[in-house]
Chains A and B, each alone.
Chain A
Amino acid sequence: MSRASLPDAPGPGGPGAEAPDSRTPGFEVPSPGTPGAEVPGPGTPGSQDSGGPGTGGGAGTVPRVLVVWCPDWPVTAVGLDASVPAAVVASGRVEACSAAARATGVRRGQRLRDAQRHCPGLVVRDRDPDAEGRLFETVAAAVSTITPWVEVVRPGVCAIPVRGAARYHGGADRETAEESLRIHVQDTVVERGFDCGVGIADGLFAAELAARTADGGAIVPPGGAAEFLAPYPVTVLNRPELADLLPRLGIRTLGAFAALPARHVASRFGADEVRAHRLARGLDVRPPAPRPPHADLSVATEFDPPATAAEQVVFAAKTLAERLHEALAAEALTCVRIGVEVTDAHGRTQSRLWRYDGGVVGRGHGGETGVAGRSNGGEGGALSALAVAERVRWQLSSWEAPPDDEGVGGIVLLRLLPDQLVPDEGRQEALWGQVTISDRIMRAAARVQAMLGHQAITRPYPAGGRAPGERVVRVPVGDLPPGPAASEGRWPGRIPDPAPAVVHPDPLPVRVTGADGAPVTVSARCAVSAPPRQIEIDGRVLPVTAWAGPWPARERWWDPARFRRRARFQVVTADGGARLLVVEGGRWYVEADYA
């Protein structure tokens, strides 16, 4: 989404503030009142028709959102204080700068050379998106103590739904409830040592701008988003082309842009501009779903009698996840996060939000976290049912030892809620730079899975081992790939390349005999009793023309149950075949074929 890089600091000093404070120099705050005055839209005589500002932005349609915004997060993430004149750069341009640097005239987008001219003592660091994502987890975790439904919009900005949270925090009316929630969230984050602004408004866009107003954020009353947004310049839409074009048409503020009739915008611009227009009008980017998605798309299963074994719940979770996925697919939606709610026999409910495109999921797998904050659980965007089941298992295991006395007493309800629904665009970032699975491939794979089951279609992932068959694991499409295990590194006794083109899933028994017709044996010291002269597979006798080996392998000698001592041979036969044979306990098998 284009929101991923809103300008660094439209900053505090919102619409009401005539004089922006030191954190927002360069940001021109237009005086309110202009929007109504100039509406010279393309071919628009008047602006009365079709949903002007405020008309569609009723509190009922756009959800109330609280946004936590940590200023200059890229700078914070590299460990620099706001009082230090510092800039974070990428490819020679300033990506973010500290408040102190901004005071000297450093700006986002400036060339580093220019920035250093403005501020000779500038501390310069390379941008570290990885650290940004990782460090922001601290903030997200702090906010999640208030409500589990935390959405990390991007490192530096996270959002929670106000409904529910505000009700929980109480207050005589909406205003006091929201204000107490806002203060509570702000205190919680500041306690962790991060400066932040907190704003509440209808929809994410307005809420983020509200969070950036002076004095640590503001509350925009329901239905007031359009009015609140009106004085902002069109640049806050973060659409450079539009920000270039609109002022040339005399449209400088969101209010003026919003005043254009929607149908004129739609007829003259593309879908993205229509989205921007909706934003300017204080509406959510996406048209509000006709139904509240949570009520409609969540899936639940009851256990009667209560499930006492985790396995039972985990199994049900897999089926539920499949149902959820189908329901989402039917709506052409995908979800960024999935909420898992578990209710026990005592009526206690534990809910947790599992992210599918963020670092949270990665925490469970050591080593996954450091991927630019973007490791992902289910590849291809489709929620793998197994991946969901895995998370349910984690959640249950965290609940197994409740602080209080008598234990859980069985699970009566499991509910999965799709969270953060987004249109399914069939794109997902790859894990560790692995091959991204495209929407089209995912769809084809899903059709095969629908026919034959989840496990039926797999992808080969490298794994460690000596035998060719051990060097690959097949992972069902959509499932978590194995960790970067021992695939690298040396495997003494490994059969040298080339690899065989055929590895028999079940090794074929074979008889190997020497010149005298006696079976060839291999001693514990790896001495071959006689050179193999012929092999017999399925009654076919094949003379051996060349052979090599043995390659001994004492595998898993540390584990008596899985310990194996075997030896491998390469054998070329007169029919032109070359095979990899393995002998173990006096029995010979064809393990692989170089056919």
Chain B
Amino acid sequence: MDLVPVLPALRAVIPGGGLRPGTVTGVDGSTALALALAAGLGDRWCAVVGLPEAYVPAAAAFGGADGGLDPMRVLLVDAPGRRWADVVAALTDGCAMVIVRPPEEPPAPVARRLTTLARRNGCALVTTGPWAGAALRLRVEANHWAGVGDGTGHLRGRRALVTVSGRGAAGPGRRVWLWLPGPDGTVTVAEHEGPARLEALAG
């Protein structure tokens, strides 16, 4: 089965350069990171379920010249309610990625059904909520915002410290600084910063 592609910059946090269909990737602390996962889909479709606040165009430029998440290839289901699992099940057929925030942690049989369907249909699941069986967990631990002063400037970009965990992770506990996005609007790996500075930011 082909991997669901991700942006080159995210290969630093996604082992194998893509998400295996049927796997669940948990994203904590950043909707932008969840959208960034979908920014490498190219002409594949993506669905966003149960995140009415997610602003899809934010990821449109994440890929730079390669483009990002094409809003025209996104389906939004803002209020799936109790039927969220059926909605996700339907959308795995056709979409290469479904980003979902379940209203509660999915019971094991439901989670199993969804991952089986997703694997069969070549779809990767990304969740911003609790999900026990998530193969990979990405967490934004800290943000460093650039461009804003004390009443001056405007936001230009941020460096986000992403930690990778889960059984699908190549090196658990891996920490990567990403521009999410950078001043040019793209997602790239940010150069390493000194540990002292890191701790100060994470504090």
Q: Which residues of A contact B (CB under 8 A)?
A: 434-435, 438, 440-441, 443-445, 447-448, 451-452, 456-462, 468-469, 471-472, 474, 477, 495-505, 528, 531, 546-549, 570, 572, 576-578, 592-595
**Chain B residues near A443 (CB-CB < 8 A):** 93-94
Per-position 1/0 for B54-75, Cβ under 8 A of A: 1111111100000000111111
**Chain A residues near B59 (CB-CB < 8 A):** 501
Closest to B34 in A: A501
A459 touching B76, Cβ below 8 Å: yes
Q: Which of B2-10, B153-161, B169-177 contacts A (4 or more CB under 8 A)?
A: B153-161
Choose from B72, B143, B148, B185 the contact partner of A577 (Cβ within 8 Å).
Answer: B143
Q: List 8 A-B contacts (CB under 8 A).
A: A443-B94, A452-B77, A452-B80, A456-B79, A462-B57, A500-B55, A576-B142, A595-B140
Given contacts A441-B75, A441-B95, A443-B94, contact A448 B158 (CB under 8 A): no
A570 touching B83, Cβ below 8 Å: no
Interface residues on B, range: 35 or more
Give the complex CA separation of A444 and B201 in angstroms.
Answer: 43
B78 touching A458, Cβ below 8 Å: yes
Distance to closest chain A CB from B129 (angstroms): 15
Distance to closest chain A CB from B155 (angstroms): 5
A435 touching B72, Cβ below 8 Å: yes
Distance to closest chain B CB from A498 (angstroms): 5
Give the complex CA separation of A91 and B75 in angstroms.
Answer: 38
B77 touching A444, Cβ below 8 Å: no
**Chain A residues near B77 (CB-CB < 8 A):** 448, 452, 456-458
In the complex, B32 has a CB within 8 A of chain A: yes
Give the contacts of B27-61 with A (CB-CB under 8 A): 29-32, 35, 45, 47, 52-61
Give the complex CA separation of A503 and B155 in angstroms.
Answer: 16
Closest to A457 in B: B77
**Chain B residues near A460 (CB-CB < 8 A):** 56-57, 71, 74, 76
B interface SS class:
mixed
Give the complex CA separation of A468 and B155 in angstroms.
Answer: 14
**Chain A residues near B53 (CB-CB < 8 A):** 502-505, 593
A448 touching B73, Cβ below 8 Å: no
Distance to closest chain B CB from A585 (angstroms): 22
Choose from A472, A500, A504, A546 the contact partner of B145 (Cβ within 8 Å).
Answer: A546
In this complex, the member of A472, A474, A497, A498 whose beta carbon has the largest number of chain B beta carbons within 10 angstroms is: A498
Give the complex CA separation of A544 and B201 in angstroms.
Answer: 14
Choose from A441, A456, A549 the contact partner of B45 (Cβ within 8 Å).
Answer: A441
Q: Which of B13-21, B84-92, B108-116 contacts A (4 or more CB under 8 A)?
A: B84-92
Choose from A448, A501, A548, A576 the contact partner of B55 (Cβ within 8 Å).
Answer: A501
Closest to A456 in B: B77
Closest to B72 in A: A435
In the complex, B194 has a CB within 8 A of chain A: no
Closest to A594 in B: B155
A500 touching B94, Cβ below 8 Å: no
Give the complex CA separation of A570 and B53 in angstroms.
Answer: 18
In the complex, B195 has a CB within 8 A of chain A: no
In the complex, B104 has a CB within 8 A of chain A: no
Give the complex CA separation of A324 and B145 in angstroms.
Answer: 54
Given contacts A459-B74, A499-B58, A501-B30, contact A547 B151 (CB under 8 A): yes
Closest to A442 in B: B94
Give the complex CA separation of A593 and B35 in angstroms.
Answer: 14
In the complex, B107 has a CB within 8 A of chain A: no
Distance to closest chain A CB from B4 (angstroms): 16
In the complex, B103 has a CB within 8 A of chain A: no
Choose from B52, B81, B156 the contact partner of A452 (Cβ within 8 Å).
Answer: B81
B31 touching A501, Cβ below 8 Å: yes
Closest to A447 in B: B90
**Chain A residues near B147 (CB-CB < 8 A):** 548
**Chain B residues near A461 (CB-CB < 8 A):** 71-72
